[in-house]
Each structure stands twice: as C-alpha cells, then as structure tokens.
Amino acid sequence: MSAPIAAQLRVQKSRCDLPTVLERWFVGMRDAIGDGVPEALKIQPMHPDGLEYSRPGTVGPAGSPWGMISMRRRTARSIRKSHKVYSPANWVKFTQAFDADLLSGDVHLSRIDATGRPERGCVVGMETSFTDPDWCFLEAIIPVDWFAVPDNQARTLAAMRAVAELCDPAYGQVGPLLEIHRSALEGALAHVPDFDIAEHRTTLHGYAWLTVCSQEIGDQLGGLDGLAGSGAFVEATKLAAGGYWLLATHDYGDYDLAAATKVFTTVARKLMTGMPRFAIVDGIVVARDAAELQDIQN
C-alpha cells in the first residue's frame, strides 16, 4: 500500500496569531480534503456511540460518513483529553478551543467500508512539541488515491498556502508520510524533529514536492532570485509573513528522483547532514549526504 500524503507546517506560536492560524488550518484543510464528509454528516449524523473503538462490531452501514474530533487541553490541574463524534455542535466546541492551552487536536473524516468499519480517510491535526511548548506541528494526512487528482492537489495547496502566508513557518512540506511529524529526510536519518526544533529556522530539515523554508534559510539560498532561477522549482514565491514557498513540479505525479535531485542540489547548502539510511522510497530522498555539496560550495 502506498504511503498517504502529508501536508506539514512547523509553527512557532509566539511568532503568529495562533487562534487565527489554527482556525484557518482546521477549517481550510477540513473543507479542502474532507471529500464531502462534513456536509454528509449534517444530513446523516453519527450515532453518539459511533466511534470506532467505543463498541464492537460495525459502526455504521457501508458508505455512510464517519468522523471523530480528538483533543488534549491543558487545564489548571491536569491535561484533559476528549474524543467525540464529528457533529456541527462538537465542531463549534472544538474551534472555540483554539488557544495556547490546546496541546493537540485531530479531526478524522472518513466513510464506512464494506466491513462496517471506518476506511483510512483524512486527518487534520495539530500537536505541540514535547520539548518546547512554543512550537507546534500542523499536519494533514491525505489518502494517496484522492491526492492523485490534480484538482485535489490544487485544493490542498490553496488551503496550506492560506496558513503559510500567516504563520512565518520554520519548515513545511507536502510529500509521502513515512512517520508522523517527520520529513522524509528526517525519517531517513532517524532524526526526531523535536530535539532541535529551535534550529529549524537556520537548518533545513527536509525537501519534497512542496518545500516551505524559513525566511532565514531562503535568504541564504539566494533569496527569491536565486531560488526561482535555480531551475528546481516551477513556483518559487515569498510568503507574506516570512518564508519561501517552493513547488518542484506542477503535478505531484511528476515529482520523481530527477526532480528531487534538482531540489536537493539547490538546497543542500542549508540541509541537515548525514547519509540517509532508512525510508528511501520512490526516489523521494536522494541517497547523498548534503555535507558533500556543502564542502564543495564552501
């Protein structure tokens, strides 16, 4: 089975209007990748006990919509967890929790398969770094078959771009999901991004079909003129609040090893170093240590 697609942004909470960013992320991504499930749940609401793990057997008839909203919040005494069925009322309550006390949130949207269980649908999520609460990971997980349609790619990019323009991201990407919150390069290097999250504005932690790099890194890679003139990207633009938006090919299906190599050689000077060892699939990680090119360029 092919890996799902992940749209990821790494955000420093103190450098953005966090409630606005979270609202734009969850609402925009839900509407972009939800594939009609939120609208269907208004017409065909779930049973209050319809969560997958809450009862044995089936959770609904085949083809019916299914959704779950989960979150963890910091309270004065503890951390409170909740898991609720997706409904308009629960969605409103979830959006009212978009503040600094929200540690994580996930919205799962799917349909019931022939066995009566939820399919692998989409997930829109946010999680605070476990090493530095000023940082969080925004991640949307998307079925690869759905994403193969160019119009769906465009919808995903538009929703992600709307958030990236606001949040001055340290890093972001759209590419195969190999491990939660990790870029493919981090997975290949067995690197945990939380451990050096404060360095993500000065060291690039990956590259993909879409790469979002910090303002600091993009400037050191030649700025807009240098990145646009590299030949590695069909779209290279600056983001309004800081950072660079770098798209390698118009269609995700055209992002192959040759395209990945162009991106790698263009950004290698600022990439984290090390020889990739794991998770090198479909040419998404070039089997070279960026240090080789850094030595040459220096």
CA distance linking residue 245 with residue 287, whole number of Å = 24
Q: Is the pLDDT at 253 greater than 60, yes or no?
A: yes
Closest CA to 104 of 193, 30, 8, 22: 22
Instruction: Please give the share of the chain, as a percent, with pLDDT higher than 90.
Output: 79
SS (H, E, C) 189-211: CCCCHHHHHHHCCCCECCCCCEE
pLDDT band at 27 (very low <50, low <70, confident <90, very high): very high
Enter the pTM of the model.
0.94
CA distance linking residue 165 with residue 163, whole number of Å = 5
Closest CA to 152 of 20, 62, 67, 253: 253
- Range with top average pLDDT, 60-74, 143-157, 270-284: 143-157
SS (H, E, C) 126-141: EEECCCCCCEEEEEEE
Find out whether 110 and 121 touch, Cβ atoms under 8 Å.
Answer: yes
| DSSP annotation string for 16-69 | S-HHHHHHHHHHHHHHHHSTTHHHHHHHSPPPTT--TTTSSS-SS-TT-EEEEE
Closest CA to 246 of 138, 181, 176, 173: 173
CA angle 102, 108, 283 (to 5 degrees): 100
Find out whether 55 and 107 touch, Cβ atoms under 8 Å.
Answer: no
Q: How many residues does the chain have?
A: 298
Burial class of residue 113, CB neighbours in 10 A (0-12, 13-18, 19+): middle
Task: Tell me the average pLDDT across 169-196.
Answer: 92
Q: From the DSSP assignment, how many helices (H) and strands (E) are in the chain?
A: 10, 10
The structure tokens listed for 126 are 């946010």
Q: What is the pLDDT of residue 287?
A: 87
Q: How far apart are the first and last CA of the chain?
A: 42
Q: What is the pLDDT of residue 283?
A: 58
Q: What is the pLDDT of residue 128?
A: 97
CB atoms within 10 A of CB 167: 29
Domain boundaries, the chain: 1-167, 175-298
Task: Tell me the average pLDDT across 206-218.
Answer: 97
